[in-house]
Amino acid sequence: MTGVAFAADNVVTGADMSHGADNFYRSDKVTTQKVTFKNQYHMNVSGNLFIPKGLNQNTKNPAIVVGHPMGAVKEQSANLYAQKMADQGFVTLSLDLSFWGESEGQPRNTVAPDIYAEDFSAAVDFLGTRPFVDRDRIGVIGICGSGSFVISAAKIDPRMKAIATVSMYDMGAANRNALKRSLTLEQRKKIIAEAAEQRYVEFTGGETKYTSGTIHELKEDTHPIQREFFDFYRTPRGEFTPRGSSPALTTHPTLTSNVKFMNFYPFADIETISPRPMLFITGENAHSREFSEDAYKLAAEPKELYIVPGAGHVDLYDRVNLIPFDGLTAFFRKNLK
């Protein structure tokens, strides 16, 4: 089924609901609890805890933390994955990264890679102290940008026993080099200089400036990658604005903080995660495929690269007929047993 909306210039704007797109999936096999927990910076991190109905809470059970795409919130993709994995018997927790969604952090939409990684460790703190969770059987799933954040976290947190990424973006490389290394050093320096000058504006009380993220209107010459993101973030397929936020700012990080990604190298020392297993899932046609392939090459065994036939990047956010949930289930059942 495909719903269609039209912009003012009569360009078709979405939403493509093919291949079982179901971002707002609600499982009748799980119970849901809104939870908050502190990270080590004493910031409140918000999450949704999904517990399979009929779970024996007098025993210790495996659990999985799920992180949302960069600039998104837990209601976009992460809740879907968390519920689908809870359907398979895992206790799961989706979370809003600090500065996004319902989690604390000012200013909003700040980029802070170290704190993002810390949020995943804090989620393990939370799960590992639940009486019905086995703290020695906790895994993580990172979608899009969160794929690079869970790798960053797992390198220094051995409590994460199995690591899976889906449509991963290396947010460091994406900002330093752009896709296919298309950003020149001169262009990078210009971005950095603009952000540095903007700090003066904001330090003296001027208006905050935002960058990147998803466009808000399609035009005839809109790039196919932007169209792909638009169809998820700007249509009923995946559009969600957290309470207290503004649709105009969703997905857009602050300019002055976004350059912090330039110093973010999540794949450095990725081999040290071994012997904990890693699974990299990417679409055959995904513009981000290069990042999963790079990580796979650098990672040590045991590792697996799973390429989903016919899938693009955003397809793996919510198209349940393309997302290899069976493969994810098998991976975590084997490695969290």
Class of 30-335 in CATH? alpha beta
State the CB neighbour count (10 A cutoff) for residue 5.
11
The set of residues, in sequence order, having a beta carbon less than 8 Å from that of 269 and lying 6+ positions away, is 155
Predicted confidence (pLDDT) per residue in 255-306, tens digit? 999 999 999 999 999 999 999 999 999 999 999 999 999 999 999 999 999 9
Task: Note the pLDDT of residue 5.
Answer: 39
Domain boundaries, the chain: 30-335
Q: How far apart are CA 182 and CA 176, in angstroms?
A: 10
pLDDT at 78 over 60: yes
One-letter amino acid for residue 135 of the chain: R
Q: Tell me the percentage of the chain whose pLDDT exceeds 70.
A: 96
Write down the mean pLDDT value for the chain: 95
Strands 44-52 and 160-166: unpaired
Q: How far apart are CA 3 and CA 16, in angstroms?
A: 6
Task: Report residue 4's pLDDT band, with 50, 70 and 90 as the boundaries.
Answer: very low
One-letter amino acid for residue 132 of the chain: F
pLDDT at 238 over 50: yes
Q: How far apart are CA 86 and CA 91, in angstroms?
A: 6
Task: Note the pLDDT of residue 6.
Answer: 33
Kindly report the pTM of this predicted structure: 0.95
Task: Report residue 83's pLDDT band, with 50, 70 and 90 as the boundaries.
Answer: very high
Burial of 98 per CB tally in 10 Å (0-12, 13-18, 19+)? buried
Mean pLDDT for 50-55 is 97
Q: Is the peptide bond before 266 cis (omega within 30 degrees of 0)?
A: no
β-partners of residue 37 are 45
Backbone angles phi, psi at 40, to 5 degrees: -70, -10
